[in-house]
Amino acid sequence: MKTDIKEKELRPKSGGLMLLLLILGILCGVAAIIAGIALSVSTGEDMPGVLFALVGLLFGGIACPMLMAGLKIVKPNEARVFTLFGKYYGTVKESGFYYVNPFAASFSPTYNAALSAAQAKTKEMQAEGKTATVSVGVGKGISLKTQTLNNQKQKVNDVLGNPIIIGAVVIWHVENPTLAAFAVENYVEFLNIQTDSTIRNIARLYPYDVFDDDDDDDGVKEKTLRSSAIEIADMMHDELQKRVISAGLAIEEVRITHLAYAEEIAAAMLQRQQAVAIIAARQKIVDGAVGMVKMAIDRLNEDEVVNLDEERKAAMVSNLLVVLCGNKDAQPIVNSGSLY
């Protein structure tokens, strides 16, 4: 996507001064009309008075009101892009009250889109027999404020083919209002579509999660959507910025707000996670139990508390492992007889 239009920042005249001059022009026109009528009455000749009044009417009643169309207000953190007879005229970024060419018109894609939607809604209501008119609540300027795009949840497949539900929020602002106005039809809709595409494409490159048996040979876990959400969000930011820079938009931040397995596999994946957690817990318990048994046997031998043959050691090891690795508390049984 390319555009040959380069931004040209206007330095318009003060709107307050021009407003004062135009009001004085209207008053002068009214005075000329009154003077022309008085001249006709006093001299008895109609032609001089009519000409004088006609000049006052053209100047004060037509020309000055038409020139007032050049008075424009630019709000803080807003820009106005002007076109003149179908061509780009310039951009005003500084807030204030200005006077520009009265034939220059503000161009805003969001305003045009909102106006078209309002007109379509009005026609629809009129077709239903209703007389209400839908108003447009969008200004003709292009906002430079930081805005938030809440991308709706969408279902995608991760790199393993598992369906997941993912959503993200995008913090952005218009950096070049001229490109935003002319490079794309509607920069807000353009950003929304590019966000959907970016999130979908990046999410397909990584698994939702990996389990212990999915580790790499060198023991380093690969990036996942769950454990590396911040890093993957940064990748989404870089990719989205490349896509929308030609439309004059700047992406400040992308953050994943929702991440979950799709309903059809959520229960199965939960069972797998629980199984992995149980296996890992059992492994820890067995490692600890073996260490405790070894320590007990070594201490008995070192202190010469009792001398056990291999068969008694095996029985002792078996009993200790049962006690230490069991899910329930063991019920002790006191041996009152001989071990031999």
Question: What pLDDT is attached to residue 35?
Answer: 81
Classify residue 277: in a domain, yes or no: yes
Residues 172 and 243 in one domain: yes
Residues 43 and 88 in one domain: yes
Kindly report the backbone phi and psi dihedral angles of residue 200, in degrees, each rounded to the nearest multiple of 5, phi listed first: -65, -45
Question: What pLDDT is attached to residue 134?
Answer: 43
Residues 148 and 240 in one domain: yes
Q: Which of 106, 129, 162 is the last residue of a domain?
A: 106
Classify residue 332: in a domain, yes or no: no
How high does pLDDT run on average in the chain? 78
Residues 97 and 118 in one domain: no
**How many Å separate Cα 110 from the centre of its chain?**
17
Q: Which of 209, 237, 261 is the last residue of a domain?
A: 261
HEC secondary structure over the chain: CCCCCCCCECCCEEHHHHHHHHHHHHHHHHHHHHHHHHHHHHHCCHHHHHHHHHHHHHHHHHHHHHHHHHEEEECCCEEEEEEECCEEEEEECCCEEEECCCCCEECCHHHHHHHHHHHHHHHHHHHCCCCCCCCCCCCCCEECCCEEEEEEEEEEECCCCCEEEEEEEEEEEECCHHHHHHCCCCHHHHHHHHHHHHHHHHHCCCCCCCCHHHCCCCCCCCCCCCCCHHHHHHHHHHHHHHHHHHHCEEEEEEEEEEEEECHHHHHHHHHHHHHHHHHHHHHHHHHHHHHHHHHHHHHHHHHCCCCCCHHHHHHHHHHHHHHHHCCCCCCCCCCCCCCC
- Counted domains in the chain: 4
- Partner residues linked to 258 by β-bridges: 167
* Mean pLDDT to the nearest integer, 98-102: 92
Quote the CA–CA distance of 81 and 140 in Å, as a whole number.
9
Q: Is residue 324 predicted with pLDDT exceeding 70? A: no
Write out pLDDT tens, residues 298-307. 776 776 666 6
Classify residue 333: in a domain, yes or no: no
Q: Which domain holds residue 150?
A: 144-261
Q: Which of 215, 232, 261 is the last residue of a domain?
A: 261
Question: What pLDDT is attached to residue 305?
Answer: 63
Residues 196 and 271 in one domain: no
Higher pLDDT, 299 or 31: 31
Residues 157 and 200 in one domain: yes
Using CA of residue 86, residue 177, residue 152, residue 114, what is the dihedral sign?
negative
* Mean pLDDT to the nearest integer, 85-112: 87
Residues 71 and 21 in one domain: yes
Question: What pLDDT is attached to residue 242?
Answer: 94
Q: Is residue 59 predicted with pLDDT exceeding 50? A: yes
Question: What pLDDT is attached to residue 136?
Answer: 41
pLDDT bracket for residue 193 (50, 70, 90): very high
pLDDT bracket for residue 135 (50, 70, 90): very low
Residues 66 and 158 in one domain: no
Task: Answer whether 0.75 is exceeded by the pTM.
Answer: no
Residues 194 and 205 in one domain: yes
Q: Is residue 137 predicted with pLDDT exceeding 90? A: no
Question: What pLDDT is attached to residue 306?
Answer: 63
pLDDT bracket for residue 114 (50, 70, 90): low
Question: What pLDDT is attached to residue 130?
Answer: 56
State what percent of residues in the chain have pLDDT above 90. 26
Quote the CA–CA distance of 158 and 200 in Å, as a whole number.
9
Classify residue 330: in a domain, yes or no: no
Classify residue 122: in a domain, yes or no: yes
Provide CB contacts within 8 A for 247, sequence distance 6+. 1, 179, 180, 183, 184, 187, 190, 191
Provide CB contacts within 8 A for 69, sequence distance 6+. 102, 103
Quote the CA–CA distance of 209 and 214 in Å, as a whole number.
9
Whose tokens are 């009154």? That residue is 34
Residues 174 and 250 in one domain: yes
* Mean pLDDT to the nearest integer, 276-280: 67
Classify residue 168: in a domain, yes or no: yes
Residues 99 and 128 in one domain: no
Question: What pLDDT is attached to residue 31?
Answer: 85
Looking up residue 224, the CATH number of its domain turns out to be 3.30.479.30
Query: In this structure, which long-range contacts are made by residues 314-322, counting pairs with CB atoms below 8 Å and at least 24 apart in sequence?
Result: 317/293, 320/289, 320/292, 320/293, 320/296, 321/289, 321/290, 321/293
Residues 257 and 309 in one domain: no
Classify residue 35: in a domain, yes or no: yes
